[in-house]
Homo-oligomer: A and B are copies of this chain.
């Protein structure tokens, strides 16, 4: 799970429904994860996909300029084109400014409800 830098920063929320076409998908997805992580301003990403093919990937970025630069990356453009021709039935993409963030972590073997609550409430 990606780390929590201090806000504000930006989230790119990519929600997609896959087609049945698998050819090249996993390799390209892995490559895009690695390539994104090497870009300026990249802060982390999380991804999950249901058995029925609905997936959500959220990547986090320092600024809108960093998102725009990643969008212009040549290899990323090619991957997006193949996504539209082969892998996706439909998708939505939202750019959002993260204003607040919280984390909670289970205390190993020690569940103090008061501690958990204060942990969740911190900013």
Contacts and interface: CB of A to CB of B under 8 A. Distances in A.
Interface of A: 1-2, 4, 7, 11, 13, 15, 17, 19, 46-51, 54-56, 58, 81, 84-85, 88-106, 111, 113, 116, 120
A93 B101 contact: yes
A96 B96 contact: yes
Given A48-B48, A84-B116, A100 B94 contact: yes
B54 A48 contact: yes
B58 A48 contact: no
A103 B14 CA distance: 10
Contacts of A48: 48-50, 54-56
A87 to B, nearest CB: 10
